[in-house]
Amino acid sequence: MSGVLTSFYDYLASLGQYCGRYTYLLFKGLFTIIKKPIVFMFAAFASLYRGTAGLVFRTFKAVLSETKLFVKEVKDTSERIKNDIIANPKKAPSIIWGYILKAIIRHRVVFKYFLNLILPILGLLLLIYTINHWNRSIFALEININGETIGYVSAESVFVEARDIAKDRLGISSGFSAMSTTQLLDAPVYSLSLIKINQLTDADTIADKLIERSASNITNACGIYINDEFLCAVKNETDAKRVFDSLLAPYEESGEYDVVSFVEKIDYVQGLYPDTEDIMWDAARLKEKLQSKKQESLYYKIEEGDLVSTIASKFGVTSSQIRRLNPNLDEKRLRIGQEILVSEEVPFIRVKTAKIKVTTEVLPYKTVEVLTDAYYQGTKKTIREGVNGTQQVTSLVTYINGTEYSTEEISRVTIKEPVDKRVQVGTKKYSGSSPSSGGGKPTKYTGAKLTWPVIGAYSISSGYGYRNRAMHRGVDIVASGGSSKGKVIVAAASGTVTKATYHSSWGYYVMIDHGNGLQTLYAHCLKGSLMVRPGQRVSAGQAIARVGSTGNSSGYHLHFEVWRNGARVNPLPYLGR
């Protein structure tokens, strides 16, 4: 064991030495490759630095030396200039200008250096100022009416909007203003102007100025707009809001609703308004108006030939709206002179409320059919009853003035899954169901009890005998507690089909000859359900049709008859009843 460990240790040691040696060689090779470019790059940078730095330092040194000399000469010359000006004051400008020219010519290196330094800085400052100036400026239309500047707008449409606002406030658009509007309707003169952005005027401000020019008796008030249409002005905005809040209060205080608001859009606009009776309202008048009706209920008296669709067309509404407003209306029995509601009353302002509603709904089970050869065709047997599930449905229900308007489903959660109903469906074929060649001898009736002719229907709704003073020559078989429609009809005994057709009274029917003078008849079969044809031999219990209500029938049932030697007899003894 120790020998194995020693060998393994030696192997690891050799591997480590091998890796270390080749790693060293790898990095050494890489360094050799990149060393020359790096050395060349540093050398080039150093050379460039030395050349540039030398030039810069030499230039700076020369300029500094020249500047010192220039300053010294200015000090020395200032006294001389002063004396020359005192001696000859009239020549002061030329004296000063002469010295300046001498200084520029003699010390041009200094001036050139400072010009090269200062001019770019001045250019940059000028560029910054220009950009900043134009960023805060804009071209706009100056509006001038009769020599007076009204304001500046970005487009002509702003003034048109302002004039419409002014008309609303003055009551011109509604037709009840008695004020002169000559100045308001004066055509403006537009001119292009460069202005600061903060000089732009909005439509409301221009509207105030137009009102100031057009009316003398004006005041600052709160305008009430409903769906963007001017209603009135109230001097105190708080009073106006209190009126609207009072209409919502009953719904909010009930605690029944999660959301309470108005259907219409309400806007409060501060501005100048004429202080007249038509336009300036108090809170009481505003509340009275809001509680009034915009439209009364509209009723219509039905005339000859009217239909719901034609009535709806007359009033420009939909047929579904007529039905919603008249839930008890019988469209098939419209009476002349009968009044129906075509349009319900509409309050001046409507309150919209909404609340979250949680309901439980039934989740119906499904029926699963399982094929089995344990039963004959047409036979069904329930092996497990279905159980409905439940779902919790959360909806947002919206009401308008307390009447339900719409329901929007928010979520649906299954609380209990349904259990499928399982039904076994027979697939076993009846013996002797193949068609006969027509030359075979009919099966003899043995006198045994007949097979019950309907699977799943065992009640008799009408027996053999007189019914309403007429002889009922058969029995009517139905399913108790459910629909008989589609139940399987089977042959009561073996025999040969003699009729499989339609009759005005029996509807679709089948007649079978069992031999020995016995025949059976199966009437009112479901349309398209006949499974046999004349000449075909059938066995007892073989499916031949399904229960229907064709012919002279008042409901789904099987009319079953037994014929004996050409005469119809009571079927019940043959069925063992």
DSSP labels, 87-140: H-GGGHHHHHHHHHHHHHHHTHHHHHHHHHHHHHHHHHHHHHHHHHHHHTEEEE
| Secondary structure class of 328 (helix, strand, coil) | coil
Output Rg (C-alpha) for the chain, integer angstroms.
54
Classify strands 259-262 and 351-363 as parallel, antiparallel or unpaired: antiparallel
| Global pTM value | 0.46
Evaluate whether 145 touches 186 at the Cβ level (below 8 Å): yes
Strand partners for 556: none
- Integer Cα distance of 430 and 428 in angstroms: 7
CB 174 within 8 A of CB 216: no
Reduced to 3 states, what is the DSSP secondary structure of residue 413? strand
pLDDT, one tens digit for every residue, the chain (577 residues): 566 667 776 777 777 777 877 787 777 777 777 777 777 777 777 777 666 655 566 666 666 666 666 676 666 666 666 666 676 666 667 666 766 776 666 666 666 666 676 778 877 888 887 777 666 777 888 888 777 787 888 888 888 888 887 777 776 654 444 444 555 556 777 788 887 877 788 888 888 777 777 666 778 889 999 998 888 999 899 999 999 999 999 988 888 888 999 999 999 988 888 888 888 999 999 999 988 888 788 888 888 888 888 888 888 888 888 888 888 888 878 888 888 888 877 888 889 999 999 999 999 999 998 888 876 566 677 888 999 999 999 999 998 888 788 889 899 999 999 999 998 887 776 443 333 333 333 334 445 689 999 998 888 888 888 877 788 899 999 988 778 899 999 999 999 999 999 999 999 999 999 998 999 999 999 999 999 999 999 999 999 999 999 999 989 999 999 999 999 999 998 988 7
Q: Which residue type is seen at 498?
A: T
Contact (CB, 8 A) for 511 and 498? yes
Are 308 and 322 in contact by the 8 Å Cβ rule? The answer is yes
Please give the angle made by the CA atoms of 373, 509 and 506, to the nearest 5 degrees.
Answer: 145
Task: Tell me the CATH number of domain 354-425, given options 3.90.470.10, 2.60.40.420, 2.20.230.10, 2.60.120.680.
Answer: 2.20.230.10
Contacts of 271 (CB under 8 A, 6+ apart): 165, 169, 204, 207, 208, 211, 220, 221, 223
DSSP 419: B
Are the C-beta atoms of residues 138 and 149 closer than 8 Å to each other?
no
Question: 534, 540 in Cβ contact below 8 A?
Answer: no
Please give the Cα distance from 111 to 101 (Å, whole number): 12
Give, as one character, the DSSP assignment of residue 385.
-
What CATH code would you report for 297-344? Answer: 3.10.350.10
- Residue-wise DSSP of 168-184: HHHTTTTT---S--TTT
Structure tokens at 445: 């009736």
Helix ranges restricted to H, 294-412 = 308-315, 319-325
Burial tier of 12 (Cβ tally within 10 Å: 0-12, 13-18, 19+):
exposed
Question: Cα 94 to the chain's mean position, in Å?
Answer: 87
Angle between helices 283-290 and 237-254 (to 10 degrees): 40
Which CATH number is correct for 432-575, 3.30.300.30, 2.70.70.10, 1.20.1250.20, 3.30.70.250?
2.70.70.10
Break the chain into its structural domains and give their ranges: 139-290, 297-344, 354-425, 432-575
Question: What is the spatial distance between Cα 102 and Cα 53, in angstroms, rounded to a whole number?
Answer: 32
3-state secondary structure of 19: helix
Burial readout 382-395 (b: 16 or more C-beta within 10 A, e: otherwise): eeeebeebebeeeb
Q: Which of 369, 458, 468 is nearest to 422 (CA)?
A: 369
Report the sign of the C-alpha dihedral through residues 47, 49, 50, 56, in that order.
positive
- Of 502, 504, 540, nearest to 520 by C-alpha is 540
